[in-house]
Amino acid sequence: MEQLQEQYDLTIHWRSFELRPAGSPPISPQRRAQIEASRPLFQKRAHEQYGLDIDAGPFGIDSRPALIAEKYAESQGKGEAFHKAVMKAYWQQARSIDDKAVLTEIAEQVGLNTENSTRKYPPISTWLVNMGLPACPRSSSPTSIWW
């Protein structure tokens, strides 16, 4: 996509969606094995055709926390940077983007508020909790919410 943007006057509008939302039927062990077995060919094609080195994250994770965090990033003017960082983390660094610690690290990298502070906007942890995701304490303080 970045190569296309460099060559043409394009604006990319990413749309969020869950591939396997909560309540989806389980993937059969046979289908899961088939998907996992296809990964090496996918990696080879991505490298040969597009020059991309793929080291994908775990299959079947819950992408909802990352999608919600991206909406927060968009609300703070950091949506594109956050999106690119999440994509890189999952597809090139084999990171699990349902891990709140990973999302917090990415948020920090792109300059999002990740701590309780006096900034104009609340930290990402507060935003995610308000969207229905529980906080994942990083400290022993009962009054702090950290991601």
pLDDT for position 120 = 54
pLDDT for position 2 = 75
What is the average pLDDT value for the chain, to the nearest integer?
A: 80
Q: What angle do CA 7, 107, 73 make, to 5 degrees?
A: 65
| Strand spans (E) along 3-112 | none
**Residues of the chain below pLDDT 70:** 116-147
Residue with tokens 């349902």: 98
Instruction: Give which of 141, 16, 126 is closest to 71, Cα–Cα.
Output: 16
- How far is Cα 121 from Cα 124, in angstroms, rounded to an integer? 9
Q: What angle do CA 35, 39, 45 make, to 5 degrees?
A: 130
- How far is Cα 16 from Cα 37, in angstroms, rounded to an integer? 27
Is residue 47 within 8 Å of 54, Cβ to Cβ? yes
pLDDT for position 6 = 83
Question: What structural domains and CATH numbers belong to the chain?
Answer: 17-130 (3.40.30.10)
Burial class (CB in 10 A: 0-12, 13-18, 19+), 115: middle
pLDDT for position 137 = 39
